[in-house]
Every structure is written in structure tokens, then in C-alpha cells.
Amino acid sequence: MTKTLKLFAALLFWANLCIAQQFSITGKITDKEGLAIPFASVIIKNTSKGVSANEQGIYSIKTDHTEITLVFKAIGYKNNEKQLQLTSAPTTLNCVLEAEQYTLNSVTIKAGGEDPAYRIIRETIKKRKYHLNEVNSYSRDVYIKGLQKLVGAPKKFFGRDIQKMLSLDTNRSGILYLSESQSHYYFEKPNKIKEEMFSSKVSGRNNAFSYNKASDLQINFYDNLLLESSGLSSRSFVSPIADNALFYYNYKLLGSSNENNVIIHKIAVEPKRKNDPAFRGIVYIADELWRLTGVNVNLTSDAGINLLDTLNITQQFVKVDQFYMPSTIQFGFNGNVLGFKFKGYYVGMFSNYTVNQKFPKDFFSSEILKITKAVNKKDSLYWAENRPIPLTQEEKLDYKKKDSIAVLKESKHYLDSVEKANNNFTLGKILITSYSHNNRYEKTRYDFDPLIRSVLFNTVEGFALKYGVTFTKRLEDRKYYSIRPDVRYGFANKTFTASLSGNFYYDPVKRAQIGGSFGSSISDLNNYGSMDLLSNSINSLVFETNLSKFYKKEFGDVYATRELANGLQAYLSLSFANNHALINHSNTKIRDIADKEYTSNNPFTPDTETYLFPDYRSAKITAQLSYTFGQKYITRPDGKFYTESKYPRITVEYRKGIKNLFNSDVDYDFISAEISKDNISSGLWGYSSFAIGGGTFLNNNSVFYPDFKHFRGNKSLVFPPNLRKFRYLDFYLYSTSKHYFEAHYEHNFAGFITNKIPLLRKLKLEEYVGVNFLTQPDKRNYTEFFFGLQRLLFSVSYGYAYDGNKKVQQGFRIAYGF
């Protein structure tokens, strides 16, 4: 009996050992000519488990079964199945894939007749909605690998050696970014997602987190419009099987083949017009099922993508139950910006599907991605055992080199030597670009203002100097505090002011900080600011137009802001100030323009120098709540990061002037509300933005001009853009202590019109229109209409301003966004 038990125990131990043992299969996937097939898929038959080959066709897969069948597949090649009997030794299995033979033997195309591809596409379009909605929910494992590299660059950029700055080889090429991540991903219609990243690795950044996000690789060609919020373009792109695809695409049947008793049609797609927002390439469609089995398409600069020359998208599918789910997706890209030639890819592998899964009621929340501290702590052994795409030799060297350097960079000796070079003081830095002194070991930084922006002129102070230094101390997990002293002296009014401000960002997850400031300052009468000091100096000295108006205050204030709930941000401040109206003290000008004189510092008496208001004290409290509907976010150990919501934001503010607090002279209650939303997609028609707000002084027993409700005006030809900024409204004359309503709307057509004009098409201009509206007791029904063209950071517009039905102004405006 004892021998029998021992034998049974031994057999049980051997069985458990066999069950626990993992078998490793590696090899290379090539075509018949011996050329590597990059990113071919290797899937364990009748499962959704698999891996992908790397750029050199090398793959590695592990299994705990002794008998398996591997399916090797790649777009444009015949599937190849290999049955294996595995032993304890690692197995080498190379695989040759034959190019799929797509024949047209059974197809006759008559002269002038329609290509048979159109019938296939029409049938597929009919089934589009069915395939789009057949899977209600799923979960899967996701592996993402991202690589970006330079393949060429100028020797120097702004005087800096590019090879040394970016650690490139002698040809000025090399990997700039390499990362990997693994996640569990969950989805439920219509748009509920949840992702939990459990491992992350970034080359050369041992404490960093990968920015790979599974939802960024979501692309479903059964949707009508694709890549709506990708940043590639201001407009969307039409799917080759969209409801209206026949208006945008030409199709050609290249052939058909038999794959596991299913006829697969290979169809070439290309835009009907060169600059249509459409793809070009190949789609594979299963006959009778009328569903996609593979996609290999490109977008080029002709289609309107920005920064890139070409974007390639390839997608393969795997059968899960009776459904076809994506098994791999790859975004490959290349481009050339200012002589920097780059290329790269992001590849996602999806495995271990559970389809039409029932999730608990509160399983999904506003948190779409969670990254914990442990995700970047996995060692190289873990990654060697678990990455589904083997590293290339170049990638191995990049990890080895940069990870070693990363450890070195944490040493005080290395950081001191680097900072000694970076902190090198030059006259150009202090005069023009600003000088910074950084100590990365101590995580401190001093930023000195450039002198060129410290010299200014206005008619109140004459020539003046304004200078400040900012000290920043970085703490763990993106916490930091900063302190800034600031001094200013006007030579004409002989007035010296100085202030000290600081803030402490103490909870990145709750987006919480506290801060305050005290001292004295020369401030703009409009709390939004009329124009920057340099622009006002140029306008004054060269064009004898002193647009900005100022007052002096001695002040002290404290504030705190914190997220109270997801999407709900609170702000609270208490402020005190002694306020003094000012008058002009300088008439200096570079050129004297005939029939033109400087105006008074009082905008309401331009020809007479008078004080706008008496000296007064003000104490006020400001409370603000801002809520974004449907706000989604990513949680990382170093903070909470909002994603752009599809829904508007509402902001409510209450401001109270408190009588007698610190001998305050003000007594008022002001309340306002605004609803706004940027970048509302209109598909192929571009996008819109709007902001609508109103408010009133519930009590204005004692309110002085600096505490009025001000508006973002503009009287300059060139200005920085802002959705809430009027283009022709005076900076000061229509501020109010009563009630108001304002509305702003802009629509960018994203080249919908200019793309059809040959001479303008290559410029990639985007046309836009807009309207601004304001009404208040002293400025009823003021309206601006404008239209213009923009390209990246610049735009030119022409507009008209009306007081009621009376046109009061018109002209060009130039906006810059840097």
C-alpha cells in the first residue's frame, strides 16, 4: 500500500510538473525569397492567444501544452499551420509564408463596365452597422510597443550640436523613444472603457510611465468617420466602407482566394480626388460574410494630415467564437520637419478575448486608465519572459545603453557635470532667451527673465525696468513649489514697486495647490490685460498710440484650488488692495505723427488728464466652481490627467466686495456663469467652439472701476487669439458694474473649401468663420462677424463690427499662437 501511495505521489508530482512547465518556440518568418516579414502574427489555433514577429520577422511564443498548432499569418500571405509535439527543450521553428494568389479567372469585366469590386463594397456597406454592433462588450489583454527614431538631422539647430544633444550616431540617426506596456482592457457599448496597465517600460527612463494607451489604438473601419480626435488633422477621414464611401473612393478587385473555405476578395481603394479625406491601399473582404478580414491602407499629406508625410495602418483579425476581433494593429509613420527626418511605429497586440461579457453595474467609471507605482518596477527578466514581440538588436542596444546612462544620471557627479555645461552663462541668454540655473540632483531651478523683455515704455511710467526671478523646487510625484520676486521702476513717475508670489502644488491627484502674493504693482485697468508690455511699448513709441492704461495697487492675496469631485474644480481666494489711479508722466516718442497725440490714462477722458477714480481700499472674496460634464481621466502615481470631454464645461463665479473689512471701501456682490466647449467635431466639416456667459451685480452699492466686469477687447492689428476675445472692442470703455451677456462662436472648416481650390490646396489652409456678441446697459447688441484663413500658429481674418444695426468698424486682424 505504501509503495502504491509513493508511486501515485510521484506520478502526481510529474503531472503537476508537466502542467506547470512552459515550452518555448522561437523562429523567423520569411517569404519564399528569404526576406523577413515584419510583424507577422503567430496564433495558437482555436484561441485568441498569440504573438507578433518583430521588424526582422523574429518571433517567440510560450505555451504550457505539449501538443499545439500554430497559425502563421500576415496580410497578403497564405496562412501556414504547423503542428508541434513539444519537449522540455526550446524549439526552433522557422516558417515560410507564400504570397497569396488572388485570381480573376472567374471574373469578366466588360469594356466600360463596372469593376466587380463595387458589388462587394456595396454588400459590405449594407452589413456595416450589423458588424459594428454585433459585439456589445469584451475584455482583452493588450501589449503596445512604440518606437520613434531619427533617420537624419541637421548638424546644428539654434547653434546646438544635434548629435550630442540627442545622443545620435555619426550619421545623426538613432532611437528617440522606445516603450512597451501591458494592460487589461475592457469595453462596453456605446463608449464605456476601462484600462489597467500592469507593466510599463521606457528606454532610459527608469522612473517614467509609458504613454501607451490602448484606446489610442482603437480604430474601427466599420465606423463612417475615423481618427476624429487624433490630432493628425482638423477633420475626420472617411472609411472605405462608410455609408457614403462610394462618393469618395474608387475600387478595383485585384483578385480572390480561398482561405479555410472562405473566399477572400482583395480590393484596392484610392480617393476619387487626390485631396479627399480618404485612404489608399488594400482591404480584404470575406465573400457572403461581407466583413473585413484585413486592412493595409495609407494616409498621405495629400489627404490633409499634418507633420507626417505618410501614415500606414495595418489591421489583422482573429476569430473569437463566431466573431472576428482585431488581433494586431500597427500605425507606421514617417516625416520631415525642419530637416529632422523621422519614422516609427506603434503596434498593439490583442489577446485573451472574452466577448459579450457581463460586467458588474459599477464596473466602469470616469477613470479610463489606471497606472500604479508598481508598473515600471518589472525587471529585464520579466520582460524577456513576457513580451510578445521580440526586441531587435538595435532595440536591445538602446535599452542597454540608455538604462545604464539613466542610472549614471542619478549620481550627483554626473548631474553636476551636465549642469555645469547647461548652466553656462552667456550674454545672449541673459539678454534675449532668458538664463536658467538648474540643479537636477537637488531638483531646483532658477529662471531669470531676459533683459530684452524687462525694458518697457508706457506714458504713465515713461521708460521702465521690470525684472523677476523664479525659483522652483521639484518634489516627488510631480509636487513642487515656486517663489518669484518681481521689481519694477518707472523713470518718469519715479515709482518703485515690488512683489513676492509663491505657490505649492501639493496634491497632483486632486489637482490641488495653494498660493499667495503681496507687495505693490503697476497693473492694467482691465484685469484680463489689454496687450503685452512689449506690444504696447512699440505701439506707443513708433505709432504714438498708447493703448494700455494703468493703475497702482498695494496688495496681498491668498488662494486655494482643489478638485472636489471628478470634473468639479473649486477655487477660493481672499484679496486686499490699496488702489491708486494714475496719470501720464511721459510724452516720449520715436516719431511724431501729425495730427496725433497720446491720450489720457483715463480712457473716458482721452483729451484731458484726469484721475479715473479716487484712492480706495478693497477687500474681496472670490469663489468659483467649474464642472465638466462627462469628464474622463487617467490616474498615475504622479497625478490625475483629464482627457478632452465630449461635453461642455460650466463655470460659476461669485465675487463679493466686503465693506469695512481692513477698512475696505467697496460693497458689491457679483455673480456670473459661463458654458463653453472647444473642438466640437463636425466630421468632414471641421469643428466648432463656443462660449456663452452672463452675469450681474446683485449689489453695486460701492464699486470702483478696477472691480467692474471687464471684457477681452482688442484694438491692435496683431493679437494673440482667444475664443472669448473681441476683435474690435475697446479695452476699457464698455466694462460694466451692472449686468451683461456675451457669446462667442467659431467654426473651422478644416480645409473643406480651400482643399478644392488648386492654388490654395498645397498651402493646407483652414478657413473659419465666427461671431462675437455683447450686450450690457451701455453697449447694447454689439456684434462682430469675421472670416479668415489659418495655418498652424497663424491666421488672418477680415471682419465687421456693429452697434445694433450700425456698422462701426471693419478691417483685417492677424493672430499668432506662440
Higher pLDDT, 477 or 726: 726
Please tell me the least confidently modeled range out of 49-53, 302-306, 685-689: 302-306
* 716: DSSP letter: -
pLDDT tier, 524 (very low <50, low <70, confident <90, very high otherwise): very high
Whole-angstrom distance between the N-terminal and C-terminal Cα of the chain?
Answer: 87
Higher pLDDT, 274 or 431: 274
127, 181, 226, 328 from 133: Cα distances, Å: 10, 29, 16, 20
Q: Helix 393-409 crosses helix 412-422 at what angle (to 10 degrees)? A: 90
Pairing of strands 794-803, 779-791: antiparallel
Beta-bridge partner residues of 619: 576
Are 661 and 616 within 8 A, CB to CB? Answer: no
Grid cell, residue 272, equals 476619387
Coil vs helix vs strand at 201? strand
Of 140-149, 196-205, 552-561, 754-763, highest mean pLDDT: 552-561
Q: Average pLDDT in the 31-53 region?
A: 90
pLDDT tens profile 793-817: 889 999 999 999 999 999 999 988 7
Grid cell, residue 758, equals 488648386
Coil vs helix vs strand at 132? helix
Of 123-127, 224-228, 638-642, highest mean pLDDT: 123-127
pLDDT tier, 418 (very low <50, low <70, confident <90, very high otherwise): low
pLDDT tier, 110 (very low <50, low <70, confident <90, very high otherwise): low
Instruction: Indicate whether 377 pLDDT > 90.
Output: no
Beta strands in 460-592 (DSSP E): 462-474, 480-490, 495-507, 512-524, 550-565, 568-581
Instruction: Indicate whether 339 pLDDT > 60.
Output: yes
pLDDT tier, 477 (very low <50, low <70, confident <90, very high otherwise): confident
d(CA 483, CA 75) in angstroms, rounded, equals: 58
Please tell me the least confidently modeled range out of 136-140, 258-262, 537-541: 258-262
Torsion of CA 647, 690, 682, 330, to 10 degrees: -60
Beta strands in 153-216 (DSSP E): 156-157, 160-161, 174-188, 192-202
Are 548 and 532 within 8 A, CB to CB? Answer: no
pLDDT of residue 389: 92
d(CA 268, CA 100) in angstroms, rounded, equals: 15
pLDDT tier, 15 (very low <50, low <70, confident <90, very high otherwise): very low
Backbone angles phi, psi at 111, to 5 degrees: -60, 125
Neighbours of 262 (CB within 10 A): 12
d(CA 636, CA 542) in angstroms, rounded, equals: 51
Q: Average pLDDT in the 451-465 region?
A: 94
Per-position b or e across 505-527, b if 16+ CB within 10 A of its CB:
bebbbebbbbbbbebbbbbbbbe
Instruction: Indicate whether 408 pLDDT > 80.
Output: no
To which residue does cell 521708460 refer? Answer: 463
Q: Average pLDDT in the 504-514 region?
A: 94
Please tell me the least confidently modeled range out of 214-228, 404-418, 557-571: 404-418
d(CA 693, CA 711) in angstroms, rounded, equals: 11
Residue 24: partners with Cβ closer than 8 Å, 6 or more residues away: 60, 61, 62, 90, 91
Helix (H) or strand (E) holding 812: strand 806-816
Grid cell, residue 342, equals 523621422
Is the Cα torsion angle 238, 242, 247, 253 positive or negative in sign? Answer: positive
Beta-bridge partner residues of 329: 315, 348
Instruction: Indicate whether 314 pLDDT > 90.
Output: yes
Instruction: Indicate whether 10 pLDDT > 50.
Output: no
Mean pLDDT of the chain, nearest integer: 89
pLDDT of residue 120: 95
Grid cell, residue 747, equals 467654426
Instruction: Indicate whether 453 pLDDT > 80.
Output: yes
Q: Average pLDDT in the 183-187 region?
A: 95
Best CA proximity match to 687, nearest among 755, 752, 771, 747: 747
Q: Average pLDDT in the 159-177 region?
A: 76
* 99: DSSP letter: B
Q: Average pLDDT in the 678-705 region?
A: 94
SS (H, E, C) 260-320: CCEEEEEEEEEECCCCCCECEEEEEEECCCCEEEEEEEEEEHHHCCCCCCEEEEEEEEEEE
pLDDT tier, 694 (very low <50, low <70, confident <90, very high otherwise): very high
Q: Average pLDDT in the 334-350 region?
A: 90
Of 15-29, 218-232, 349-363, highest mean pLDDT: 349-363
Pairing of strands 95-96, 23-30: parallel
Best CA proximity match to 219, nearest among 74, 328, 93: 328
Residues forming CATH 2.60.40.10 domain(s) in the chain:
20-96
pLDDT of residue 421: 63
User: Is the preceding omega at residue 190 within 30 degrees of 0, hence cis?
Assistant: yes
CA 148 vs. chain centroid, Å, equals: 17
pLDDT tier, 21 (very low <50, low <70, confident <90, very high otherwise): low
Grid cell, residue 570, equals 473649486
Between CA 545 and CA 304, with CA 814 as vertex, the angle to 5 degrees is 170
294, 420, 741 from 414: Cα distances, Å: 50, 10, 58
Grid cell, residue 233, equals 488633422
Beta-bridge partner residues of 518: 500, 556
Instruction: Indicate whether 683 pLDDT > 90.
Output: no
Coil vs helix vs strand at 598? coil
Q: Average pLDDT in the 490-512 region?
A: 95
pLDDT tier, 407 (very low <50, low <70, confident <90, very high otherwise): low
* CATH class (in words) of the domain with range 20-96: mainly beta
Grid cell, residue 709, equals 466686469
d(CA 275, CA 176) in angstroms, rounded, equals: 32
pLDDT tier, 105 (very low <50, low <70, confident <90, very high otherwise): low
- Helix then strand count (H, E) for the chain reads 11, 44
Please give the CATH number for the structural domain made up of 117-407: 2.50.20
Grid cell, residue 631, equals 469628464
Coil vs helix vs strand at 356? coil
Beta-bridge partner residues of 258: 263
pLDDT tens profile 190-206: 989 999 999 999 887 76
Residue 122: partners with Cβ closer than 8 Å, 6 or more residues away: 246
> What pTM was computed for the model?
0.86
d(CA 680, CA 648) in angstroms, rounded, equals: 9
Neighbours of 693 (CB within 10 A): 18
Instruction: Indicate whether 552 pLDDT > 90.
Output: yes
pLDDT of residue 16: 44
Are 702 and 620 within 8 A, CB to CB? Answer: no
Beta strands in 566-682 (DSSP E): 568-581, 616-628, 633-636, 639-642, 649-657, 667-681
Residues forming CATH 2.50.20 domain(s) in the chain:
117-407
pLDDT tens profile 599-650: 999 999 999 999 999 999 999 999 999 999 999 999 988 888 898 899 999 9
pLDDT of residue 8: 43
CA 47 vs. chain centroid, Å, equals: 36
Between CA 440 and CA 452, with CA 446 as vertex, the angle to 5 degrees is 135
Residue 424: partners with Cβ closer than 8 Å, 6 or more residues away: none
* 432: DSSP letter: I
pLDDT tens profile 709-762: 999 999 988 888 899 999 999 999 999 999 999 999 999 998 888 887 877 777
Residue 809: partners with Cβ closer than 8 Å, 6 or more residues away: 728, 800, 801
Grid cell, residue 409, equals 544620471
